[in-house]
Chain A
Amino acid sequence: NAGVTQTPKFRILKIGQSMTLQCAQDMNHNYMYWYRQDPGMGLKLIYYSVGAGITDKGEVPNGYNVSRSTTEDFPLRLELAAPSQTSVYFCASSGVNTGELFFGEGSRLTVL
């Protein structure tokens, strides 16, 4: 039982490049979330999903896209990377509608 798995752990992008952060969970959770965490700031919700085929915007969605084709996977797409997207990204999942989230170990992204 791996929980929530994120890849890659580290990535450096050039301005304007695109990439996808992968997230997979093996707990059969319906709810999945993407947060970003910047130094000295709280976790900010980017996108979330309440089940396969259903996604919605969080607090800071601009510059990102998501999809949820299966219960297990919730990839986050960055289009046209900008320095402001330099951050640590966390994927999380939860079972029934609850604030008890299970987080991955994070993906550290640097845009230069």
Chain B
Amino acid sequence: EDQVTQSPEALRLQEGESSSLNCSYTVSGLRGLFWYRQDPGKGPEFLFTLYSAGEEKEKERLKATLTKKESFLHITAPKPEDSATYLCAVPNTGAGSYQLTFGKGTKLSVIP
């Protein structure tokens, strides 16, 4: 069974304190790993797609990286507006369309 595990479940950072979120996955023939941001009471918002080990993507203070077994979302000098739940997802093995399996998310709180 395809699985996606995110850690930690919750993370509190002081403003400016850099850290990383982890997403580990067990799926054969990875067809992409996707990061989303979800604000309270809102739908998830797409951030990044990573397709192959060694690939990196950046957006403002966020950088996503991918290895053969896990992905990291690095947050550099975070600001309070980065507070959100971050979700990662992978397509199900063998699925014809992009049926995604989502992790439970990491709730990030950045304290001023």
Contact = CB atoms under 8 A, between A and B. Distances in A.
A104 B42 CA distance: 8
Interface residues of B, number: 25
Interface in A41-58: 41-45, 48, 50, 58
B78 interface: no
Contacts of B31: 99
Interface in A33-69: 35, 40-45, 48, 50, 58
A106 B98 contact: no
A90 interface: yes
Contacts of B41: 105-106
A74 interface: no
A41 B90 CA distance: 16
A97 B43 CA distance: 20
A45 B105 contact: no
Given A42-B4, A94-B98, A97-B98, A103 B103 contact: no
Contacts of B42: 105-106
A43 B100 CA distance: 9
Contact of B43 (A31, A42, A106): A106
A99 B4 contact: no
Contact of A99 (B32, B43, B96): B32
Nearest to B91: A99
A90 B44 contact: yes
Nearest to B104: A42
A37 to B, nearest CB: 9
B89 interface: yes
B34 interface: yes
A101 B87 CA distance: 13
A84 interface: no
Given A90-B43, A103-B43, A43 B49 contact: no
